[in-house]
Structure formats: C-alpha cells, structure tokens
Amino acid sequence: MKLVGVIGKKTALDHYFTQDNASMNCIAFEQISSTHQEMKWDVLCVLPQGSETEDVQLPNCRLLIIAGDDQHLAHKSHADCVMTYGKGAKNCLSISSLEGEQMVACVQRELVTLQGGSVERQEMTVSFSRKMEEDYILAYLCLALVLEKEIEKFTEELKRL
C-alpha cells in the first residue's frame, strides 16, 4: 500500500485525496508528529506555508512536493526526488496563464508518477472556483498528476469548492 501525506492547513480538497482507495493511504495533517517522522512516505506534499517553522525536519519520503519558494525544505528531508510548484518558470509545475476562474498550468519537465509512469511536458487548462489560492491549486494538481488522478475529475472537484 502506498503512503501519501499532505502537510499544511486543511482544505476542502483534502477529501478528494483521502477518500477510500485500496492501493493508497492518503493522510492530511497540519503538524508533523513523531509518529509521522518514523514512517517512510511514498509521497509528501507540502502545501503553501505547510511548514512555516524554519527548524522543521520533514519525514523521509520517495517524492517530496514543495513550493518553489520553499526549496530550503528539500534539505530538511531525505527525499529521493523533489518536485516543485509555483509561479516561476523554473518549477516543475507552474502557471502559464491565469484569467478569471481558469488557469493554464504548465508541466515544465517530464514528471515520474508514483506508479512509475510519466507525465510529459504539457499545458493543461484547469477551471476552479475563486475560493482557493493558485498556489494551493498547483500543489494539489502536482499531487493529482503524480498519483495519476484524472485531471477532468480533479477540475470538477475544484469547481465545486
């Protein structure tokens, strides 16, 4: 069973990833506990401001997803691979354009999924409600891509918020 963690302020989208799945256990938590530290995570997704304290030590993981502005967190984890999201073009996943309630997100380089597949460089249109900030959408989109979630269903979930 794959172990996936979402670190940060809880949002209405957490249930999309934490709902029952026989092959994956996804846990959303606001604070990193000693129990979390002892676990070997397959994926850890740190939401914007998910680890605000400078002295935080992230648990070990295969894949760490962090905001491009939080790259210092990469040195605070024993991650096999680090993926970044944000508004800058150097991030793995960034915003190409934003107009109203539609974002064009850009996969800047090929991404490896948790199941060993790949997501090619591409742009994708994501519709959303204005109740969630763009950085949160990018974080969750990055997680959806590496978990091989259907982007159409993900977008539908975003519009419902």
Locate the domains of the chain by residue range. 2-160
Question: pLDDT by residue (tens digit) across 13-65?
Answer: 887 887 766 678 888 888 888 888 888 899 999 998 765 655 677 888 999 99
Higher pLDDT, 87 or 160: 87
* H or E element, residue 3: strand 2-7
| DSSP string across 26-47 | EEEESS--HHHHHS-EEEEEE-
Q: What is the pTM of this model?
A: 0.90
Residue 135 gets which letter from DSSP? Answer: H
Q: E-strand spans in 8-142?
A: 24-29, 41-46, 61-67, 79-86, 93-99, 102-107, 111-112, 118-119, 122-127
Question: pLDDT by residue (tens digit) across 64-119?
Answer: 999 998 877 877 778 889 999 999 889 999 999 999 889 999 999 999 898 899 99
